[in-house]
Each structure stands twice: as structure tokens, then as C-alpha cells.
Amino acid sequence: MLSDECGEQRAVLAIDRGCCDLQSMRCGLCAGLAGEDLHAVRAVGRRYALRRGQAVAEVTGAGTYCANLTTGILQVLRPEVDGSRTIGLVFPGEIIGDLNGGRPSDDAIVAITDAEICIYQSVDLERVADRHPSVRRALLGSAFEALSQARRWMLVLSRPSARERVAAFLVEMAGRLRGVNADQNTLELGLSRGRIGDLLGLSLETTSRQMQALARAGLIAFPQRRQVRFVNRGGLEKVAGLAFRPPTGAAV
């Protein structure tokens, strides 16, 4: 286990007080808020910069925090008998932690790219939400959005064949990073083949082989090892078995 990848120390660095600089306030929670409400939320949030490999120990600990990913990608690592397994990803705009202070989990949340998060104490956020109804509405919207994404992810995982799963994974990644990356056709994976295999329930070798096969079929290319360029997105979606689905979220 890389110390790089699993520093359990509180490896975060406060860079600012107040969530979301006013230039780019598309961070899920703040999007949809304005004026007084936005100000109130900003007042209780604190922005942190995470370097690749650092853990969000604050969020995983007592469960009294709630955070909002602004930029970058995080992974959720679950300890297992033989090392840890990547069981989920977090994309910009998504919320991690739990307002309700649910059972604390022993999952680690680690940045797989440099990232920025806004951290709130749950109690603070609750207090703001009590006074500003639109804040709780925004939270509810984020939660529904997260739910919709989780259910889409379940579809990826229930694909029977490895080929379909890998293709669906790439399509899903591309969809989630829409608007984040400058180049719409190139995707920075950040994850090793092994971690992707964890996510998909496949071995790292099978993951690698399937990706190679997709590349040989002319659907994708690898400018660098952890970069994917989409050459034939339609074809990829067809392999993924998602060809005729609308590209984004669906109710229930």
C-alpha cells in the first residue's frame, strides 16, 4: 500500500474560508443558491485543497462533517481482509458525508487527482438550512442527483460481460466529467487498472485486456497510459449496451 495513496493523517490544507469562490460557484450545493442564502452557506464552509493521494480524514471520522467536491475526483476505499478496495468515485458537485450523522463508516476517501472540497460541520449546515429553506432544497436536489447517479452506476455493474462493463464505465466517466474537462474527447482516468477492476468487479488483467480490445476495435485510444481518447463514442455506447438510453439522469 502506497503511503502516497493512503495517508491516514489529516492531510488537508485549508486554503480559504468560504465555499466556492464567486467566480466558479458550480459546486452542486452552491449552484442554485443566491444572495443571502448563498452567503450563509459560504459563511459556514471551509475550502480545502487536496493533493493527489491525500485523504479526507475529517469527513470519514466522526460523521459530523459534510463536504462538497468542487474540483478533481475522489475515490472511496473500503478496507477488506486483503488490502483495500476502491468501491466508489466522487465527482465534482457531489456531496460526501452525511447530514444525518449516520453510522460512521471506516471507508477512506482519497483524492485521485488534485482536488478542492468545501467542508461543513453538519450541525452548521443544519442550522443554516433551518433558517434558509432554499438551502435544504438545494441539499435535497443534490441528494436526488446523487441517488440517480448511484442507480446509473448499478446498471454498469450489473452488465454481465467484462467488455460491456468496461465500456459502460468509460461512457459513465465521460458523462460525469462533462463540462469539467476542457477537451471533451479526452479523459484523465487517474485510476490504475487494478482500481478500475475493483470498481467493476473484474481482475486488473481482464480490465487491461478489455481496454486494449476496445482500442484495437478503434473505439478509444490511449495518448497516455491513464488517458483515454474517445475515437468513436457512438460505437462505445453501443458496446456498453446503453446506446438507446438518454445520456443523463433518470428518475428512480
Partner DNA sequence: CGACAAGTTGATGATGGTCAATCCTTGTGG
Partner DNA sequence: CCACAAGGATTGACCATCATCAACTTGTCG
Site for DNA, rule CB under 7 A: 2, 5, 160-163, 192-194, 201-206, 208-212, 222, 224-226
The CA-atom distances, in angstroms, between 203 and each of 154, 214, 243 are 18, 17, 26
- Joined together, the cell numbers standing for residue 103 give 453510522
What is the size of the binding site for a copy of itself (CB under 8 A)?
A: 57
Q: Closer to a copy of itself by CB, 129 or 187: give it.
A: 129
- CA-to-CA distance for 48 and 115, rounded, in angstroms? 8
Among 71, 192, 203, 208, contact with a copy of itself (rule: CB under 8 A) = 203
Strand arrangement, sheet containing 115-121: 13-17, 46-50, 115-121, 65-71, 95-97
195 contacts a copy of itself (rule: CB under 8 A): no
| 77 binds a copy of itself, rule: CB under 8 A | no
Instruction: Output the smallest distance, CB 168 to a copy of itself, in A.
Output: 11
Determine phi and psi for 143, rounding to 5 degrees. Answer: -65, -45
Alpha helices for 158-203 (secondary structure H): 162-176, 193-200
Q: Is the dihedral of CA 189, 191, 195, 199 positive or negative?
A: negative
Stretch that binds a copy of itself, among 39-47, 131-139, 185-193, 212-220 (CB under 8 A): 131-139
Q: Which residues of the shown chain bind a copy of itself in the complex (CB under 8 A)? A: 59-60, 63, 76, 78, 80-81, 87-88, 90, 96-100, 102-105, 107, 109, 129-130, 133, 136-137, 139-141, 143-144, 146-148, 150-151, 153-155, 157-160, 198-203, 241, 244, 246, 248-252
